Amino acid sequence: MGLTGLQKDSKRASDVPLREIVAHLAENRAQLREEWVRRITDAQLLTAMTKDELFAEATSVYDSYVDALETRTLESLQAYAQNLSERIIPRGVETHEVVGIVLLLRDVLARSLFTKYHDTPALLDRVLDAYEPAANSIAITVAVGFVRERERVIRQQQESIRELSTPVLQVRERLLIQPIIGVIDPHRARQLTEQLLRGIRDTRARVVVIDITGVAAMDANVANHLVLTVEAARLLGASVIVTGLSPEIAQTLVNIGVDLGKMRTVGDLQGGIEEAERLLGYKVVPVAEPQA
């Protein structure tokens, strides 16, 4: 991918402005870089980094930036942006910070060019004609690189959530527990149901406790799915007790108009197991005084 703005410009006139810009930026590297870091610190961006890290990172970005202007290609900058994103995303750096620092650098450099060509408006025009489109594509490249990396991380995390096993555990003869933790999307909901129904058939369970303490919220679709699961389990001859409903989930279930006559719910897992034992005719009694 080339810098379209630059190529257009070089066809139209000459490479002189761009070469001049690069020379200027290389010459004033130390000063401009410091100015930039100061602006970043003032704007309170990249606060997750220490001062030294920030300075080192700023130096690499600055050099890549000048390099992209000089070679008029974005490949190495793209690679650098991806590498940078990989390193800073786990540290909680936000999109606005990354875009912010690149725009700050653009600003710092533009101001410096203004100052330098202040007295020769004609040359300034050509310099800015060359600089602006190039700076824009660099900013876009870095931002896109960051967002793409972020999306990749999100996809990966969704994948791992999907792969999280959701065990169906037998706690007593004919009593199963299915603890559900984390986000439930439609795909995972389906998987949970399949595992539960298979578990009922394989262990000949009569009562199932589905514990959703670890689920903060669910949308109407997933809530509906939960209701269907309860119904399907009944068709297999098992009663379902749902425990640990958060206020948000309770709200969702009320909003979709769930028939409470069909769904048995108990506050917490302990209560659910006690209720299940009652249904199955178990009675748990202590055999001795607990040791103090």
Residues that bind other proteins (CB under 8 A): 193-194, 197-198, 200-201, 204, 206, 228-229, 231-238
Query: 21, 127 in Cβ contact below 8 A?
Result: yes
**Tokens encoding 290:** 């607990």
* Element at 86 (helix H, strand E): helix 75-88
CB of residue 195 to other proteins, shortest distance in Å? 10
Separation of alpha carbons 210 and 175, rounded Å: 11
Task: Name which of 179 and 199 has its Cβ closer to other proteins.
Answer: 199
Q: Go through the chain and tell me how many residues it has.
A: 292
Using alpha carbons, select from 232, 188, 236 the residue that is nearest to residue 212.
188
CB of residue 234 to other proteins, shortest distance in Å? 6
Task: Name which of 147 and 236 has its Cβ closer to other proteins.
Answer: 236
Task: Name which of 111 and 204 has its Cβ closer to other proteins.
Answer: 204
Query: 21, 7 in Cβ contact below 8 A?
Result: no
CB of residue 232 to other proteins, shortest distance in Å? 4
CB of residue 159 to other proteins, shortest distance in Å? 24
CB of residue 163 to other proteins, shortest distance in Å? 22
CB of residue 158 to other proteins, shortest distance in Å? 23
Task: Name which of 71 and 224 has its Cβ closer to other proteins.
Answer: 224
CB of residue 237 to other proteins, shortest distance in Å? 4
Separation of alpha carbons 247 and 220, rounded Å: 14
Task: Name which of 110 and 279 has its Cβ closer to other proteins.
Answer: 279
**Helical H runs in 172-268?**
186-203, 220-235, 247-255
Task: Name which of 35 and 277 has its Cβ closer to other proteins.
Answer: 277
Task: Name which of 38 and 201 has its Cβ closer to other proteins.
Answer: 201
**Tokens encoding 233:** 């389990």
- The sign of the dihedral angle between the CA atoms of 268, 274, 278, 279 is positive
Using alpha carbons, select from 284, 166, 179 the residue that is nearest to residue 241.
179
Separation of alpha carbons 137 and 69, rounded Å: 10
